[in-house]
Amino acid sequence: MTASITDVARAAGVSASTVSRALRGRPGVSEEVRAQIAALASQLGYTASRSASSLASGRTYTIGVVVPYVGRWFFGTVLDAAEREFSAAGYDVLLYNLGSPETRKRFFTKLPVRKRVDAVLSLLIPDEAESAALRSLGVPLASTVGGARPGFTVVGIDDRAGTESAVRHLVNLGHRRIGMISGSSGPLHWTTPVERRNAYLDVLADAGIAHDPALEADGDYTVDGGERAMTELLAAARPPTAVFAQSDEMAMGALRALRRHRLKVPDDVSVVGFDDHELSDVVGLTTVAQPVARQGAEAARLLLRQLDEPEADPPAGQVRMPIRLVLRETTAPPSPRGPQ
Amino acid sequence: MTASITDVARAAGVSASTVSRALRGRPGVSEEVRAQIAALASQLGYTASRSASSLASGRTYTIGVVVPYVGRWFFGTVLDAAEREFSAAGYDVLLYNLGSPETRKRFFTKLPVRKRVDAVLSLLIPDEAESAALRSLGVPLASTVGGARPGFTVVGIDDRAGTESAVRHLVNLGHRRIGMISGSSGPLHWTTPVERRNAYLDVLADAGIAHDPALEADGDYTVDGGERAMTELLAAARPPTAVFAQSDEMAMGALRALRRHRLKVPDDVSVVGFDDHELSDVVGLTTVAQPVARQGAEAARLLLRQLDEPEADPPAGQVRMPIRLVLRETTAPPSPRGPQ
DNA sequence: TGCTGTTGCGCAAGCGTTTGCGTTCATATT
DNA sequence: AATATGAACGCAAACGCTTGCGCAACAGCA
């Protein structure tokens, strides 16, 4: 079997308590004894059992991270950055990938993180019922995308401003028939799609452009969904001359659909995305960039701070990071003859 | 405080042992009592403390997954699939994202997973020293990409065959100056880059093409690296008319470099990648496709099987999944006048 | 009716730590 | 010289479960 604390204690000729204190840097151990214990411990390959120590101390040194889809670029990037912060601070991360509605439901009803984590970071804000479940854990909570929620420290961006910059850009180029590919359906209740939609509607209204429901389609935040949505838009009586996609993945799907329809981008149709996916540059996609990794890192840091100073007031509910429009090659003034 | 097993026991008028047995479906409890306990438990919001139960039972119902870079599409996709299998089987996953050499080293020397996991899945085969460290944990081990290693169940693809199909395709199109963008540098010791390189060299030799070292460059498995590598290749005395990139991300970086050099793909230069990234279709990249998610799922399943039947012989060391060349729009016969 | 099995449950030990408190011993203080 | 003060360490009780064993109650059998 692997060595236990008493093995180390016996080898060092001290008590288990002393070993425990020595290895964790607690006072009450002379430097020589501490050094000797440390040497013995590494020699015996001793690592304290997390189960035992968290049972005894009540602290788990583990953080639960719940992700809607690890495989997607956005969340993968956020997770990567957050994990770095956590592991640098000595915390392990328990990953919960809540891809399907069933696993999502199971997670929030069974709450397998109960008594297992010191805090939880949700990469997408949970709905109110789910949030309540998490609050019942009695640990610090944080989230990245999706708007404010009581009990959560959330770091995100200004979706409204981002969307406005994108849609205004199209308006300024002279487009009047501006479509939108959104990701509002699905089981998740987050505010992002609706905030972006509202901003889209507002910009249109501001520009004196009547809203045409046929110019909206759902792309499910995936490439394939974006392709389907674009195909749908192209089937409209009067197709759009420009489209704003709520994510770069959907925008790329739209690009694919346009190519299949032998439409030129941006000559026939302009496309702007959202996120600045790492491959957007490759396809020359105009998009609104947001600091993805930084959001994950910042959320992690805020959570760690709460863990360090449990007595301090919870940090400001919401942190907003800057966005900016990145102009590339998928947007241009509408062609005089329009698409087709 | 949150409810403990004795709270449930008291409420039900039984002993803690009975609650434990009832909730885990162990024999020795009548159906009525079991039902009553289950009701009480959910009513009290009781969840067994994982620390306590794993301390007592020795099983953690947790699997350690070590990933080189969660943010990369390939690993994110593999992780997604593996996590689904694990969580469906009732296991939690502890994620270790080993991005930098330092975190990697720290992980393998401190081995924070010791006594914390029932098994570990490494998404990239660790080198021999690291593997030895993992073997010392005394738990089942599996890995996805990177070749065989004692003690590991590994599921992967035939890198040689994949590479051959890609390079042969270029040869058959009539190319003679075929460059390669590899990902062999870096701190990781895995066989993939060298296997692919060997296959590349063999195909060239087979075709009677002399190998030109100036036609090889390192792309670090990233988009930016691929761009740099392509730029490097273009600077050669006689630049390639076609290049094989060891990953789609690098291929896309190459595409970007070519665009910046105002070179047409595939007219001036053909490009073929490896992986079939979800966005390869969008850019029309010819590539060798491998079943990414399926590898993660399969590796997870094999690990779970070992956990179920600890006495059974460890499964076959290596599982090979099929690859296939996907022809798209980045490859064509060399132009008579060559690049520039 | 006595015996053997089976079922359903409780007892208590144990899992490997952490931590409050008590003890010892050397040093500083008056 | 007597006493107070700390530092360094050990003791033992938790932490919340699991599990081998024992015991009662009851059924089935001859």
Per-residue pLDDT of chain B (340 residues; tens, 9 = 90+): 588 999 999 999 999 999 999 999 998 899 999 999 999 999 998 999 999 999 999 999 999 999 999 999 999 999 999 999 999 998 999 999 998 888 999 899 888 888 899 999 999 999 999 999 999 898 999 999 988 889 999 999 999 999 999 999 999 999 999 999 998 766 667 889 999 999 999 999 999 999 999 999 999 999 999 999 999 999 999 999 999 999 999 999 999 999 999 999 999 999 999 999 999 999 999 999 999 999 999 999 999 999 987 666 565 578 999 999 999 999 999 987 654 4
Q: Do A253 and B52 touch (CB under 8 A)?
A: no
* Last residue within a domain, chosen from A290, A310, A329: A290
Return the amino acid letter for B204. L
Q: Is residue B334 a part of any domain in this protein?
A: no
**Residues near A298 by Cβ (< 8 Å), separated by ≥ 6?**
A155, A319, A321
Q: Is residue A340 a part of any domain in this protein?
A: no
d(CA B23, CA A156): 41
Give the Å distances, CA to CA, from A101 to A126, A189, A196.
Answer: 13, 12, 24
Instruction: Bin A276: left if φ > 0, else alpha if -120 < ψ < 50, else beta.
Output: left
Residue A178 distance to chain B (closest CA, Å) = 22
Find the CB nearest A84 among B54, B97, B136.
B97
Does residue A23 reach within 7 angstroms of strand C, measured from its CB?
Answer: yes
**Range 15-34, chain A: CB under 7 Å to any strand D atom:** 15-18, 27-31, 33-34
d(CA B99, CA B92): 22
**Residues near A226 by Cβ (< 8 Å), separated by ≥ 6?**
A181, A219, A220, A245, A247, A249, A250, A251, A252, A253, A254, A256, A257
Number of independent structural domains in chain B:
3
Strands (E), B160-224: 178-182, 216-218
Are A283 and A163 in a shared domain?
yes
Q: Is residue A335 a part of any domain in this protein?
A: no
Q: What is the domain extent for residue A36? A: 5-48
d(CA B43, CA B48): 14
Give the Å distances, CA to CA, from B285 to A88, A254, A271, B199, B279.
Answer: 38, 17, 21, 21, 9
Q: Is residue A16 a part of any domain in this protein?
A: yes
Q: Is B169 exposed, middle or buried (0-12, 13-18, 19+ CB in 10 A)?
A: buried
d(CA B242, CA B239): 9
> Order of strands, edge to edge, in the sheet holding B318-321?
A318-321, A152-157, A141-145, A119-124, A62-67, A92-97, B92-97, B62-67, B119-124, B141-145, B152-157, B318-321
For residue B322, say if its preceding peptide bond is cis, omega within 30 degrees of 0: no
Are A217 and A284 in a shared domain?
yes
Are A184 and A264 in a shared domain?
yes
Are A21 and A69 in a shared domain?
no
The pair phi, psi for residue A112, each rounded to 5°, is -65, -10
Q: Do B256 and A282 touch (CB under 8 A)?
A: yes
Q: Is residue B340 a part of any domain in this protein?
A: no
Task: Collect the ranges in chain A with pLDDT lower than 70.
Answer: 1, 185-188, 310-316, 337-340
Find the CB nearest B80 among A2, A70, A284.
A70
Are A164 and A278 in a shared domain?
yes
Question: What's the CATH number where A30 sits?
Answer: 1.10.260.40
Are A169 and A252 in a shared domain?
yes
**pLDDT per residue over B96-147, tens digit each?**
999 888 899 989 988 888 889 999 999 999 999 999 999 989 899 999 998 8
pLDDT of residue A340: 45
CA B8 to C1' D29, in angstroms, rounded, equals: 40
Strands (E), chain B: 62-67, 92-97, 119-124, 141-145, 152-157, 178-182, 216-218, 242-245, 270-275, 286-289, 318-321, 324-326
Are A153 and A163 in a shared domain?
no
E strand or H helix at A79, and its extent?
helix A73-88
Are B108 and B31 in a shared domain?
no
d(CA A161, CA A48): 49
Are A259 and A214 in a shared domain?
yes
Q: Do A79 and B97 touch (CB under 8 A)?
A: yes
Residues present in chain A in total: 340
- Two tokens at A46? 């001793």
Protein contacts on strand C: list nucleotides below 7 Å from a Cβ.
7-12, 14-21
Closest by CA position to B135, among listed B153, B151, B148: B151
Strand partners, B66: B96, B122
Are A120 and A22 in a shared domain?
no
Q: Is residue B227 a part of any domain in this protein?
A: yes
d(CA A10, CA A282): 62
- Nearest residue: Cα versus C1' of D16: B52
Are B249 and B265 in a shared domain?
yes
Question: What's the CATH number where A274 sits?
Answer: 3.40.50.2300
Q: Is residue A333 a part of any domain in this protein?
A: no
Q: Is residue B199 a part of any domain in this protein?
A: yes
Are B193 and B233 in a shared domain?
yes
- Secondary structure class of B96 (helix, strand, coil): strand
Closest by CA position to B144, among listed B307, B306, B320: B320
